[in-house]
Chain A
Amino acid sequence: MATGLELRAISKSFGVNRVLDGVSLRVEPGEFLSLVGPSGCGKSTLLRVIAGLERQDRGAVTIGGVDVDHLGPRARNIAMVFQSYALYPHMSAGDNIALPLSVSRLSLAERLPLIKHLSPRRRGIVREIAADVRAVAAQLQIETLLARKPGQLSGGQRQRVALARAMVRQPTVFLMDEPLSNLDAQLRVHMRDELADLHKRLGATFVYVTHDQVEAMTMSDRVAMLDGGRLAQVGRPAELYAAPATLTVARFIGTPTINVLPGRIGDHGQVMLADRALPITTALAAGAPVSIGLRSEDLVLGSNLGSASASLLARVRRVEHHGAERLVFADLSSPTTGAVIARIPSVEAPFAAVAPGDLVPLTMRFSALHIFDTNGSRITASVPPAAGKPAVTPAMAEEAAT
């Protein structure tokens, strides 16, 4: 039975450096929650607080409704997978996996060299432990590796051994600290799939720390993004992508990075890009500077110069081919300046020949614009119904839709 956990106003400082600042978070039983954020945002510290490896200065941690602040890591019945795997290098893979069981089922004397043979009950317990280890190893398909030392295993195999060591005690909460970041790209994609699968099979609660937003977006039920020790946003991956609560979230989630253009509020509340009014209004006072966020797929390559009021003119700097799509890196020249990235499907015939140095028109989808104030907070913006479609010619809009 999976248990949830709850963090209430967790704060933690190292010296004068405040790493966590009043983080409150509920993780539902059986949920896969990712903690993401740039390095130094406090996500690993938060995980260590949950594990009991670090004590918070203020706030409370409950696991399964039970206050665990006074408990050590072992008593919290959590398992942890470390970025370095933290396998004991002198023990075989099997002994590594068995260790949590040996420690809990055998007394100290029963684990000491020579003396251990004096215990009559030891042999039976060791046999039980071996059976448990084999069962877990079978789940992860590492039965044949149990006799090997960690030094003789590949990165992916070590990863599995570390997972098996975490699973063997059948904990209800798994804490993972960037477990995939030491693997090569291909294996990482594969393990992502396997981890998600494992989560489903075990039905346990996963709290997963990563700096890689792709991992967070692909595996989690919910994503919690930390920024400077505070929770910036918690929500389903699609929510974080479609409605980022802050400019930092918008910039962190999604590849390539969201385009951000400087704007301000016009006299009638509409958002201005340079001297051009966009058909979007906000409640901000006139003259207030804003940041306009626009995902690369919402920047449509349009050839119809001048016909759409919101089209921008840009000089192509570089084109990256990604197979099914191309990323066009361009410098805006009108009506405003700045570097932007547009994403176009490779099959989009009219623009197949876009090359560096070309001057191309780009058109924004108004409905997809994200407006942020000077603090980086998201501002609700309303788009008049008529302007909801990309401000391009009907022909262009059709083309983009297909």
Chain B
Amino acid sequence: MIMSMADANGEHALPEARRAVARKLRWSGALFVLPAALLLAALLLAPLLCLLVLSFTDYEIGAVTIKWLGFDNFKRAILDPVFRRAVANTLLYVSIVLPGGVLLGLLIAILVHGRTRTRGFYEVVYFLPVTTTMIAMATVWQFVLHPSLGPVNAVIKVVGYPEQAFISNPKLLIPTLAVIGLWQVIGFNMVLFLAGLTAIPRDLYDAAEVDGAGGPINRFLTVTWPQLAPTTMFVAVTTSITAFKVFDTVAALTQGKDGSEVLLYAIYLEGFQYFKIGYAAALTVIFLLFMLAFSLVQAFQLDRRVHY
């Protein structure tokens, strides 16, 4: 800017001098970027690269030799019934937690937003599960869902149905874990949606009312839902990432028994119980590919409609 002004005045129009300044600027710019670039490479890119390299080997912790396997680890994973079950379980889990977490979070946020004096109370209550550690709360869930001791089964029996083994029946296992996952994620989503709701200008609701779209359904469709679209997008992405990473409930409640393996738990078993680092790395790469694909679909599909 300053350069071009000087040129216009015809004062310092020497091309060599100008190039020298540009060169200097480029170098000093690169110098400023360097520390951040190094940190980025060391902390984020290098580990990923390590992971990728390991996933093509048979490395085990403590092993003296290491062999290049090519895609063998991946082939094995695709044929491994345990891993396939883990993928299926994870997808089922996500398919319950993602829509449930978004819709229930939104519903509760709208209800809580309508409160005036009791709003703070409800916010705290719904947010409590977010602050608890799942490992500790798993004990409570284990008791609550216990076939003979738990209150849930007591109620089921009173109503006249046979008792249900929520944590050991393979059919109920993943849905049960998903409900627990929902229990924990809803409060967080509610807080995000509340922030979104608070940011909606009151004028828009007034305008909707004057325009005849003042009823609850019209108001939701005309103002609330479109205005919350960016928030919803964000909530959906964070919820799906959280859901894909389900681990602690499985580790605490089932230890992967009765066909309850999920992606992260399978990786944990291979890497930290059987020390098959190479194979675990390959599973992790697959896991990351899942996450990447999911995020890309959400970003490109929703992004177009979300921003105005």
Contact = CB atoms under 8 A, between A and B. Distances in A.
A88 B222 contact: yes
A90 B209 contact: no
Contact of B206 (A79, A86, A103, A151): A86
Contacts of B213: 99, 103
B35 interface: no
Contacts of A52: 209
A89 B200 CA distance: 11
Nearest to B201: A84
Contacts of B204: 86, 88
A51 interface: yes
B209 to A, nearest CB: 5
Given A82-B203, A84-B201, A108-B218, A100 B308 contact: no
Interface string A274-293: 00000000000000000000
A72 B207 contact: no
A100 B211 contact: yes
Interface in A307-346: none
Chain B interface size, as a band, is 20 to 34
Contacts of A137: none
B231 to A, nearest CB: 13
Looking at chain B's contact residues, is the secondary structure mostly helix, strand, loop, or mixed? helix
Given A84-B203, A86-B201, A108-B217, A78 B226 contact: no
B190 interface: no
A123 interface: no
Contact of B210 (A80, A90, A112, A151): A80
Given A53-B206, A88-B223, A74 B211 contact: yes
Interface string A90-108: 1100000001100110001
A151 B307 CA distance: 10
A207 to B, nearest CB: 13
Contacts of B226: 88-91
B201 A73 contact: no
Contacts of B308: 89-90, 149-151
A53 B210 contact: yes
A165 interface: yes
B81 interface: no
A218 to B, nearest CB: 26
B218 A72 contact: no
A104 B212 contact: yes
Given A99-B222, A103-B218, A108-B218, A86 B212 contact: no
B218 A74 contact: no
Interface in B168-224: 201, 203-204, 206-207, 209-214, 217-218, 221-223
Contacts of B221: 111-112
A180 to B, nearest CB: 16
A82 B206 contact: yes
A82 to B, nearest CB: 5
Interface residues of A, number: 30
Contacts of B269: none
B91 interface: no
B222 A73 contact: no
A374 to B, nearest CB: 41
Interface in B242-266: none
A82 B226 CA distance: 20
Nearest to A175: B210
A149 B204 CA distance: 15
A74 to B, nearest CB: 4
B229 interface: yes
Interface in B278-308: 308
A311 B210 CA distance: 57
A368 B212 CA distance: 51
B215 to A, nearest CB: 9
A140 B199 CA distance: 31
A21 B203 CA distance: 25
Contacts of B201: 84, 86
B201 to A, nearest CB: 6
A74 B217 CA distance: 16
Given A72-B214, A74-B214, A86 B203 contact: yes
Chain A CB within 10 Å, residue with most, of B204, B207, B209, B213: B207
A48 B214 CA distance: 15
A165 B218 contact: no
A103 B212 contact: yes
Contact of B211 (A53, A84, A90, A165): A165
A388 to B, nearest CB: 52
Given A86-B201, A89-B308, A90-B226, A73 B218 contact: no
Interface string A21-54: 0000000000000000000000000001001110
Contacts of A74: 209-212, 214
Interface in B223-238: 223, 226-227, 229
A168 to B, nearest CB: 9
A348 B37 CA distance: 71
Contacts of B212: 74, 100, 103-104
A100 B218 CA distance: 11
Contact of B214 (A73, A88, A112): A73
A226 B59 CA distance: 82
Interface string A361-398: 00000000000000000000000000000000000000
B46 to A, nearest CB: 41
Q: Which of B204, B209, B210 has the most CB of A within 10 A?
A: B210
27 contacts: A51-B206, A51-B210, A52-B209, A53-B210, A73-B210, A74-B210, A74-B214, A79-B210, A80-B207, A80-B210, A84-B201, A84-B203, A86-B204, A86-B206, A86-B207, A87-B207, A88-B223, A90-B226, A90-B227, A99-B211, A100-B212, A103-B211, A103-B213, A104-B212, A108-B217, A108-B218, A150-B308
Interface of A: 48, 51-53, 72-74, 78-80, 82-84, 86-91, 99-100, 103-104, 108, 111-112, 149-151, 165
Given A52-B209, A72-B209, A99-B222, 4 more contacts: A48-B206, A73-B206, A74-B209, A86-B201
